[in-house]
Amino acid sequence: MKNSINIKIGGHAGEGIKVSGLILTRSLTRLGYSTFSYSEYPSLIRGGHNTYQIQVGLHKVQACLRKLDILIALNQETIKLHQDELKKTSLVIYDPGEFKLPLGELKGKYLAIPLLKITNKAGGKPIMANMASLASVLTLLGIELNTFKDIIRKEFSKKGEDLVKANIEVGEAGKNYVLKNYFQEKLVLEKPKTNLKRMVLTGNEAIALGALAGGLQFYSAYPMTPATSILHYLASIENQTNIVVKQTEDEISAINMALGASFAGVLSMTATSGGGLCLMAEGISMAGVAEIPLVIVNSMRPGPALGMPTWTSQGDLQFVLHIGHDEFPRIIFTPGDAKEAFELTKLSFELAEKYQLPVFILVDKYLSESDFSTQLFKKDHPAKRFSMADNLGPKDEFYKRYKLTENGVSKRSIPGQKGGIHCCNSYEHDENGLGTEEGEMRIKMMDKRMKKMKLLEKEIKGVSLFGPKKAKLSLISWGSNKGVILEALKELKNVNFLHLSCVWPFPKKEVEEFIKTSEKCYSIEGNATGQLTSLIKQETGLTLQSVLKYDGRPFWVEEIIKKFTN
């Protein structure tokens, strides 16, 4: 009996791979297993090679292994492309009526299941052959189809009872075929001992939910992979949650509209990827000088310029640290999984308002689009407003919106409030917000803004330590590498890991202490130059070695294990 299994579905785009994969993920999660699912696809609508990969386990699963236990090959190309990922014991499911096995020596055991034929026989349409293959997999794992059927009902009930019934029939046919022909190949997965209820969601859905929990009212964005699904998800629940979602003509408009909305008193967010963020640079600078609360999500993909739209990267760290001209305070969160994405996005809304500055959620395609199984988030969120002025001035007189205070934070007023009149200014300004070019006031206002960084350092806990306090080998990383490294830690002995969920303000003390107490320390990053390593050097003077990857793919668990196993 196995306690962890790695399943991949591969085929052409447009064959329903993502939908099927998610049905399988949800079915397994509902049964009490922990799952993590990752998909790869090219920047095309039809054609091109697509995959969806599910790691399912009895214990907490946080990343996919590269080596597969089961491969569902919807075309011959899949079998050729993924030979490296197969083991002798891997099972490969394919439809002999659709294509012949490639010539030459092949790794794994090949189960010929006439998916289309049994689908037709069960009265289903060709696309439903996917359900036959999913049911085959579940049967091979020794899992009954009841939960799978529930998920089918949930997914397809909107499309009519006939469709639900047909899909279920096809599933049954798949199960029966396996029981009859391949019963001996079973790869039985141990039954979960808990019935812990988990949800399955992408990193982007977690960000959207975190934003709502933080009080999100206005979202403006321009579509760009891999941030687009935040727009899709929020637009789909706009009416239900009573927010405003606006697709704008470009990213420049997206950020400037959000700035206007925030000035007018609503909690606002925008999201994009690197190219769009380039266009937002000046707007971010305005949020800095005019002290406008704003949450900005940047979901990274490989660049420069258009790069590789549907792949992953951690190449924008230094960009986000510096984006916008001149200097102003900012916060950059780098969540490592869906739960952190939810919690830190929620927190971003609080901090953006409290300190009136841009807050970045820096994620990547791997986090944005992977499906995480995680314990249900808290349902009730009594969100609060921060830094709003209680006492405004006399009606029709200027209010000192940018009052020079000891800690740099001044209270806001919003249009419509009597006695709160001020100018929200992209130029340097005085306490009322009126433009000034006076040297002395300029220094005072710069100091006012920069002082807020000091307060932030106290407010944010930016690191989590995993493993022993002192170890032979120490790893330090940020963002979505968290799950991969934690999976590797299950194998690596005497290794600890410091995960940075916030890179700015930089958690100097914690990082310094971690590196100084380590015997050997490596930074692990998805970019070509070691951007975190540079940041650490800049902030602590300490030099690390970097383990880098920039082929558009996430780190694989095996890669980390191999690198640190002698």
Partner 1 sequence: MENSNKYLSHIKPTWCPGCGNFGIFTSLKNAFKKLDLDPSELAVVTDVGCSGNTADFLKTYVFHALHGRALPPAAGIKLANHKLKVVAIIGDGGCYGEGLGHYINLMRGNHDITVLVHDNSLYSLTTGQTSPTTPKGIKTKSSPNGVIEEPLNPLALALANSASFCARTYALDIKDQTNTIIKAISHSGFSLIDILQPCITFNKTQTIKWYQERVYKLKNRFKNKEEAFKETLRTDKLGTGIFWQEKRPAYHQECQTLKNEALVAKNIKNINLGELIDKLV
Give the nearest distance from C-beta 86 to partner 1 in angstroms. Answer: 32
Cβ proximity to partner 1: between 383 and 441 the closer is: 383
Task: Give 74's contacts (C-beta < 8 A, 6+ positions apart).
Answer: 9, 10, 11, 12, 15, 17, 94, 95, 98, 133
Cβ proximity to partner 1: between 82 and 149 the closer is: 149
Contacting range for partner 1; rule: CB under 8 A; set: 9-17, 100-108, 169-177, 256-264: 256-264
**CA nearest to 40, candidates 32, 49, 27:** 49
Q: Confirm or reject binding of residue 265 to partner 1 (CB under 8 A).
A: yes
Contacting range for partner 1; rule: CB under 8 A; set: 133-141, 254-262, 356-364, 477-485: 254-262
Q: Confirm or reject binding of residue 257 to partner 1 (CB under 8 A).
A: yes
Cβ proximity to partner 1: between 283 and 479 the closer is: 283
Residues found in the chain: 566
- How many whole angstroms separate alpha carbon 275 and alpha carbon 278? 5
Which amino acid is present at 436?
A: T
Q: Confirm or reject binding of residue 347 to partner 1 (CB under 8 A).
A: no
Contacting range for partner 1; rule: CB under 8 A; set: 138-146, 306-314, 351-359, 378-386: 378-386
Q: Confirm or reject binding of residue 264 to partner 1 (CB under 8 A).
A: yes
**Considering only residues 1-30, where is the footprint of partner 1 by CB under 8 A?**
30
**DSSP assigned state of 388:** B
Give the nearest distance from C-beta 82 to partner 1 in angstroms. Answer: 29
Rg (C-alpha) for the chain, rounded Å, is 26
Q: Confirm or reject binding of residue 110 to partner 1 (CB under 8 A).
A: no
Do 526 and 308 touch, CB atoms closer than 8 A? Answer: no
Q: Confirm or reject binding of residue 391 to partner 1 (CB under 8 A).
A: no
**Considering only residues 294-333, where is the footprint of partner 1 by CB under 8 A?**
none
334: exposed, middle or buried (Cβ count in 10 Å: 0-12, 13-18, 19+): buried
Q: Confirm or reject binding of residue 250 to partner 1 (CB under 8 A).
A: yes
- How many whole angstroms separate alpha carbon 369 and alpha carbon 103? 35
Instruction: Pick the binder of partner 1 from 99, 110, 263, 466 (CB under 8 A).
Output: 263
**Considering only residues 424-443, where is the footprint of partner 1 by CB under 8 A?**
424-427, 433-435
**CA nearest to 267, candidates 295, 296, 235:** 295
**Considering only residues 217-236, where is the footprint of partner 1 by CB under 8 A?**
217-218, 220
Give the nearest distance from C-beta 255 to partner 1 in angstroms. Answer: 8
Cβ proximity to partner 1: between 176 and 417 the closer is: 417
Contacting range for partner 1; rule: CB under 8 A; set: 375-383, 472-480, 483-491, 508-516: 375-383
Distances (CA, A) of 232 to 18, 205, 235, 249: 16, 10, 5, 16
Paired tokens of 208: 């959207």
- How many whole angstroms separate alpha carbon 516 and alpha carbon 543? 11
